[in-house]
Amino acid sequence: MAPSQPAHVNLSPAELSFLRSTLSQNPPIRLDHTKGPKDFRSMRAEYDVLPGANGSARIALEDGTEALVGVKAEVEKSQLKPVERLEILSFAGGDVDMDMDMDGAGNDDESSGKGQNSWIEMSVEIPGYRDDDSLPVFLASMLTESLLASGELKDRLYINRRFHWKLYVDILLLSPPLSYPLALLSMTTHLALLTTRLPALKSEKDEDPLFDDDWDASVNLYPKQKGKKKTGQSLERPPVIVLAMAVGSNIIFDPCKEELAVADAVLAIACAKGKSSSSGARLVSLRTIDPPSHLTPPGVPNSMNSATGGVAPTTSAEALTQRELLATSGVWTPPRGGMKRGLISEVVKMVVQSGGIADEVIDALEAIEVG
């Protein structure tokens, strides 16, 4: 289970109890009364903000949380396996088909399965956190896991048997985390990768790579669709991660920190889709997030508060009985347990189905890049 959100919510037990009751209604009443359960917070996005990077993007949410992602690509020499070394030596001077396509990456058949996970390196920096703290480590792990799930990205980094691209993805949260930043970092990374460009390859076969110096001739890491490919399928876009929470029987997307403070369960869903896919998104990975409401101490009713004339319990058995009565006392009680399988299935279906949440988020980010 992933660590909970870092931001502390200064709400009294009465405010927490009231907030949870409003979110549990049907339909739920969110803090921003103009938003429905599937609506996202407004954001400002831009790309190509770092001139020295191969790709970059910045997204700022309405609450002031802002993220910046830079993508840098470098050519590295591949560490060949002993069998591959023997193949190159035995076929030296022969006609070895190592043709490269115009995208600067290997041919679909040639590069398929040749990529390695180590060719992608990701780092996440959050103000006030060390690099080895649990939150940055989990965020980097979740984002890397979703990127490597399909294997397409690492295969696109294949140049030939001797060389490959090494991709560095540096993620920086420019402001203190005012809410759980996973979805924001994912969307910013998606936009940065979508706009990442690589120099056009001029060399052929297994030669030392030679690239075109003209940046106008560079090619997209995620090539734009130009008619049908040989396989008849479109290339998959970078994945995005959607955050959803459950309160009672309601499912709410893109929760703010106050709403997360009363969540029964929180789910992070990573999904991806093809450029022209009409069947919805594909589920890439799924993680539960430990909601901060599990760590919030319960409220104290007047009957248990000696400061207001009540009598505090004297034995552990009496305290347990009083705690069980809190559920109907109207004061804040932290939710217990996790998310049931049926609820997880319902949330995933809402995200990945055609025209679902994932389609809306990915299409909106792609519209920014196209515009």
**Distance (Å, whole) CA 338 – CA 344:** 10
The DSSP 8-state label assigned to residue 213 in this structure reads: S
| Range list of H helices, 265-331 | 316-325
Tell me how far CA of residue 37 lies from CA of 47, 158, 371, in angstroms: 28, 42, 28
3-state helix, strand, coil in the chain (%, to 5): 30, 20, 45
Residue 249 pLDDT: 86
- Range in 63-67, 175-179, 234-238 with the lowest mean pLDDT: 234-238
Instruction: Name the β-bridge partners of 267.
Output: 244, 288
Tell me the average pLDDT across 133-159. Answer: 89
Residue 107 pLDDT: 47
Structure tokens at 256: 């703010």
Q: Which of 102, 153, 192, 95 is nearest to 272 (CA)?
A: 153
Q: What is the pTM of this model?
A: 0.81
Q: What is the pLDDT of residues 66-76, one digit of tens each?
A: 999 999 999 99
Helix (H) or strand (E) segment spanning residue 35: none
Q: Position of tokens 């290339």?
A: 235
Residue 34 pLDDT: 81
* Position 62 confidence tier, pLDDT thresholds 50, 70, 90: confident
Type of residue at 18: F
Q: What percent of the chain has pLDDT over 70?
A: 73
Structure tokens at 79: 């560490």
CATH superfamily of 13-81+100-296+332-370: GHMP Kinase, N-terminal domain (3.30.230.70)
Instruction: Tell me what the pLDDT averaged over the chain comes to.
Output: 80
pLDDT of 300 > 80? The answer is no
CA dihedral 211, 214, 215, 219 (to 10 degrees): -50
Who has greater pLDDT, 226 or 129?
Answer: 129
Q: What is the pLDDT of residues 188-219, one digit of tens each?
A: 999 999 999 999 988 887 788 889 888 888 89
Antiparallel, parallel or unpaired: β 120-125 and 163-173: parallel
Residue 205 pLDDT: 76
- Please, are residues 47 and 369 in contact by the beta-carbon 8 Å criterion? yes
- Range in 178-182, 264-268, 338-342, 359-363 with the lowest mean pLDDT: 338-342
Residue 118 phi/psi, 5° resolution? Answer: -70, -10
> For the chain, how big is the Rg over CA atoms in Å?
25
Q: What is the pLDDT of residues 245-261, one digit of tens each?
A: 999 889 999 998 888 88
* Position 237 confidence tier, pLDDT thresholds 50, 70, 90: confident
Residue 242 pLDDT: 94
Residue 105 pLDDT: 47
Structure tokens at 293: 């409401």
pLDDT of 273 > 90? The answer is no
Who has greater pLDDT, 177 or 170?
Answer: 170
Q: What is the pLDDT of residues 22-49, one digit of tens each?
A: 998 888 999 887 888 999 988 999 999 9
Tell me the average pLDDT across 333-357. Answer: 85
CA 231 to chain centre: 28
- Please, are residues 156 and 115 in contact by the beta-carbon 8 Å criterion? yes
Instruction: Name the β-bridge partners of 121.
Output: 168
- Please, are residues 327 and 333 in contact by the beta-carbon 8 Å criterion? yes
